[in-house]
Amino acid sequence: MSDSTPLPSSDVALRRLVEALRERDYHFITATPLTHARVNGRPGNEEARSLRDVFGWSRPFEPGLLPPELLKLMEEGGVLAREGSLCRSLVRVSSLDGMLFLHSAYPTTGAEAVFFGPDTYRFANAIAAELDRRPGPVRRAVDIGCGAGPGGIVVARSHPGAEVAMVDINDAALRLARVNAAMAGATNARAVNSNLLTGVEGRFDLIVSNPPYLVDPARRAYRHGGGDLGAGLSLAILDAALERLSADGTLILYSGAAVVNGADPFRSAVAARLAGRGVEWSYREMDPDVFGEELEAEAYREADRIAAVVLTVNNRG
């Protein structure tokens, strides 16, 4: 299942843009939106003065700040916005394990925004840890709701002989996932438009997912989890994965769980679904407190905190 389809010319421009940044020793770690806003709000940070300011902090910049070849690649790739006399990048470029990933610029307010941030780093670490423990081979794998593709790409690079599908309903995300896979040399990963697993066939040795898990009044696809306290999509992914795991297959689901009066309703729902299914599973908090600002929203008025959690399910059927 190698994705050998040539990239469109606009995507080739994006790839060359990232290659040019790599040649200039570009690195950037993406922080939370709240941290991003605080740093950009400091005096003196109104405009970009470096590549990191342009492609990491998403600050407006004078056209003369960048070499002409970078501006040309941005224009050809469709990621250069002009705001009067200033310009702005429509994408960010973030570092992960020696790779560079394209994703949406800050602020991610659009309906088709492509997320990448601290959750992404925790998700990648959860995958790497499980792959280190997994005794069996990975022949077929899928990343559900792949976004910019980091989960699928981590799997594809770790198992170059595996067929890896990166699936999402957001075509903007699939475009960036395709370019990011090409940049990472993950030729065994392909991007597919699919609602959960409806667009791909067969069973999988490994299913990974980092779905949106917050309650978003705007119902943005990259952010809104739906259901009670944002857990709806995570539970739908669990249900879909249970029907498509191969014998000895593994699901790694990184999500968020709102804790209410000391109890975790998401964990309880998971336990109810897995009872009597003949699977082994573990559930742990990777971070006990994320997106604390969301507790001010009406949807979380009874919640103590939101935890980042990792659910691992091993099929023994």
Q: Which pLDDT belongs to residue 220?
A: 81
Closest among 114, 192, 200, 189 to 158, alpha carbons compared: 189
b/e burial code for range 39-67 (CB count within 10 A of at least 16 → b): eeeeeeeeebeebebbbbbbbbbeeebbe
* Whole-prediction pTM: 0.95
Instruction: Report the distance separating Cα 144 and Cα 209, nearest Å.
Output: 5
Closest among 118, 202, 189 to 155, alpha carbons compared: 189
Here the tokens at position 157 are 């690079």
Name the segment(s) of the chain with CATH classification 3.40.50.150: 118-315
CATH of domain 118-315: 3.40.50.150
What residues form DSSP beta bridges with 306? 258
Sign of CA dihedral 128, 132, 135, 138: positive
Q: Which pLDDT belongs to residue 3?
A: 58
Backbone angle region of 217, left / alpha / beta, with phi > 0 → left and psi within -120 to 50 → alpha = alpha
Instruction: Report the distance separating Cα 9 and Cα 40, nearest Å.
Output: 33
Q: Which pLDDT belongs to residue 1?
A: 46
Q: Tens-digit pLDDT profile for the chain (317 aa)?
A: 455 567 899 999 999 999 999 999 999 999 999 999 999 999 999 999 999 999 999 999 999 999 999 999 999 999 999 999 999 999 999 999 999 999 999 999 888 899 999 999 999 999 999 998 887 889 999 999 999 999 999 999 999 999 999 999 999 999 999 999 999 999 999 999 999 999 999 999 999 999 999 998 888 888 889 998 999 999 999 999 999 999 999 999 999 999 999 999 999 999 999 999 999 999 999 999 999 999 999 999 999 999 999 999 999 76
